[in-house]
Structure 1
Amino acid sequence: MGLIAIESTVFALAVMMYFYLRSHTPSWPPDHAAPDLAWGTLNTLIMLASCVPNWYTKRAAERLDLKRVRIGMCACMLFAVLFLAVRVYEFGALNVLWNDNAYGSAVWMLMGLHTTHLITDAYDTLVLAVLFFTGPLEGKRYVDVSENAAYWYFVVVSWILIYAVIYWGARL
């Protein structure tokens, strides 16, 4: 939980940077249309739906149900891959490049920060899934599933905040 607290602080600082830059710019987003809502909203729905297999997998791990943990880990990976695939299109629909202006830098930094966390957790989920399929299995591995789910929930909650800032903050 300490890691999540530290990373929450990083996200909070990044969001404060966005609003600081916004407060010092007469037009926000300057010279650009706000990002298209379609890809970001689709990714938000995917993220919210991904909580279901994470909850399922965590519950299976608490019961030491190897078969269901394996199924759940695969489902969690599918959601992570789906989110990353949509994220590629989402970057293209931001209507700004990272080096266009302060707005572009702020948006790309928030998106990049979240994408980095997503890739990290997807990799962690993949490694954990491989361990559950190949062994050796110890009771500790089941606890790792709970920790993985907790971190995924952090990624989901942080995305909701970033979605609100990037997609709706630009429209206010």
Structure 2
Amino acid sequence: MKQTIVRSVNELPTYGFGSRTGPWWGAMAFIALEGMGFAVAIAAYLYLYAVNPKWPINSPPPDLWPGTLATAVYVLSVIPNELTSRWAHKLDLRGVRIGLVIMSLIGLALLVIRGFEFAHLNARWDLDAYGSVVWFVLALHTTHLATDVGDTLVLTVLMFTRHAKPRRFSDVTDNVFYWNFVVIAWLPLYVLLDWTPRL
């Protein structure tokens, strides 16, 4: 049987950035699902806030300093994160390595700060509905933070090995995109957890 080549795709690129790649769309779907999870958690918190005459129920509000420190680090992290994205689009290996190392350190620092946030919630998770929802909301965001830190660490290692090929630069931009989601998701949660109990 004779085969006819309809079109040769040898010259097409083997990687791309943004919406031209499958992983980007996967990240978008993941973010949509996780965003809905955050919306449900926020709704649960606000429902409990609305139906209880005293809020927090049996605890003082969380201490402000850990959440405020984390928020400042999140907001400032956008700068090296966006620089890393620019370097990745230019296929600048040295710049991407620097950016990923910085973002890895920022992520690890935020995990340490998150430990202090849990310690300063001033509520036990099993004491009442307030304690349960506060711990749940903070734990939910922690899973996203830890996921992105793990991804960043893996990418950092890969970019220092023979696997630092053009396709990996696309993975770096996807990681940058997800980190921006983690930052944006935290901002309303900071207001919810640290300031709503003080209203």
SS at match of 2:192: helix
Post-superposition offset of 1:132: 0.3
- Residues in 2 aligned to 1:144 and 1:51: alpha-carbon distance in whole angstroms: 17
**Pair 1:114 & 2:141 matched:** yes
Q: Does 1:57 align with 2:74?
A: no
> Is 1:8 aligned to residue 35 of structure 2?
yes
> Shift of the alpha carbon at 1:135?
2.5
For 1:143, the aligned partner's letter is: S
- In structure 1, what is the Cα distance between the partners aligned to 2:95 and 2:89? 11
Q: Does 1:67 align with 2:94?
A: yes
Alpha-carbon contact 2:60-2:122 (below 8 Å) kept? yes
In structure 2, the residue matched to 1:169 is 196
2:50 paired residue number: 23
1:141 and 2:168 correspond? yes
Percent identity reads 45
Q: 2:55, 2:88 → 1: CA distance?
A: 46
Aligned-partner Cα distance in 1 for 2:146–2:180:
14
Which deviations, in whole Å up to 9, do the C-alpha atoms of 1:26-72 show, x marking residues without a partner? Answer: 11101211111111000000111111111111100000000010000
Distance in 1, Cα, partners of 2:165 & 2:55: 53
Aligned counterparts of 1:77 and 1:136: Cα–Cα separation in 2: 18
Write the distance in 1 (CA, Å) between the matches of 2:60 and 2:170.
Answer: 45
Q: Which amino acid counterpart does residue 43 of structure 2 have in structure 1?
A: M
Structure 1 residue runs without a partner (length 5+): none
Q: Secondary structure of 2:60's match? A: coil
Cα RMSD of the aligned pairs, angstroms, is: 0.8
Specify the alignment match of 2:20 in structure 1. none
Amino acid at match of 1:109: F
Structure 2 unaligned spans of 5+: 1-27
Runs of 4+, deviation exceeding 3 Å: none
| 8 A contact 2:83–2:99 mirrored in 1 | yes
TM-score (norm 2): 0.85
Alignment check: 8 A CA contact 2:58 2:128 kept? no
2:184 corresponds to which of 157, 163, 168: 157
Larger Rg, first or second structure (1 or 2):
2
Give a deviation string over 1:138-167, Cα, whole Å, max 9, x none. 222111111101100100011111101001
- In the comparison of the two structures, how many residue pairs are matched? 172
Letter in 1 for 2:162: G
Q: From 117, 120, 123, give the equivalent of 2:150.
A: 123
Where 1:135 maps in the other structure, the secondary structure is coil
The residue type equivalent to 1:71 in the other structure is I
